[in-house]
Amino acid sequence: MNTTDISDSFSAYAVADLQTWPDALRNSALLRRYDRGAYVFKRGQRVESVYLVQKGQVLLRRDEAHGESLTLQTARPREFLAEASLFSPHYHCDAFCASPSELLVFPAKTLLACLEGDPLFAVDWIRLLSRQLVRSRAREERLTLRSPRDRVLHCLRLEHDTHKRFTAPGTLMQWAGTLGIAHETLYRILAQLEQQGLIVRDGTQIVLTERQRENAGRSRRTQSR
């Protein structure tokens, strides 16, 4: 089976950012599991839902007339999928699961009604999508860095939480793929950073040490001169 509805109860799987969302939207959410290779939706299909990735990785792809497939977005945990199609009648691309994935499914009509009727929620929605856009631009900037070590540090510095803790998107091998480097290279860099006292690792979670933050501050000051 390609898809499985896990629960129609949002509360058991609530994301912290969504706790203040309107009850109508939270109560309508459905948690759905997709196998690797499953399609969440296909190009031309009527827009019925907006998705929030909880686990896994979903690619937005568009097949071109000459046979090539163009990846428009790679949606990872805590990122929305199809939010750009909310005001369109049909999806403009295919959503394909690159790994086993779990997605929160929100009915598009309910989401639109909440945006129109709840100004505070509308502001929360804009804020959330703005953060997602910032992360997307940071990833584009990261891929311009030639040094694999610089890519890793760039990611750790910009995508940690308020406690300076970074959680890898999926496995370390999957994270290496998003950085555009070999997974063996990522393992080696993380081991070096840990030996140098710049990070502390706990599985797929990484904490920047005070020493690393001081080094980053000195580097920014040097570049500004």
Architecture of domain 146-224: Orthogonal Bundle (1.10)
The CATH superfamily assigned to 3-139 is Jelly Rolls (2.60.120.10)
Calculate the dihedral angle through the C-alpha atoms of 5, 10, 13, 16, rounding to the nearest 10 degrees.
Answer: 150
Identify the DSSP state of 8.
Answer: S
pLDDT attached to residue 20: 76
Return the number of other C-beta atoms located less than 10 Å from residue 118's C-beta.
Answer: 16
**Domain residue limits, the chain:** 3-139, 146-224
Beta bridge partners of 50: 106
Residue 41 Cα distances to 3, 24, 154, angstroms? 11, 24, 33
Return the number of other C-beta atoms located less than 10 Å from residue 81's C-beta.
Answer: 24
Q: Cα 26 to chain center, whole Å?
A: 20
Residues 153 and 181: their CA atoms lie apart, in Å, by 13
Note down pLDDT in tens along the chain; length 225 residues: 466 766 554 444 445 456 678 989 988 989 999 998 999 999 999 999 999 998 888 988 887 666 666 777 788 888 888 888 888 999 988 998 988 999 999 999 999 999 999 999 999 888 888 877 777 787 778 878 889 999 999 888 888 777 788 887 667 877 887 788 888 999 999 999 999 999 998 877 899 887 655 555 555 444 444
pLDDT attached to residue 211: 63
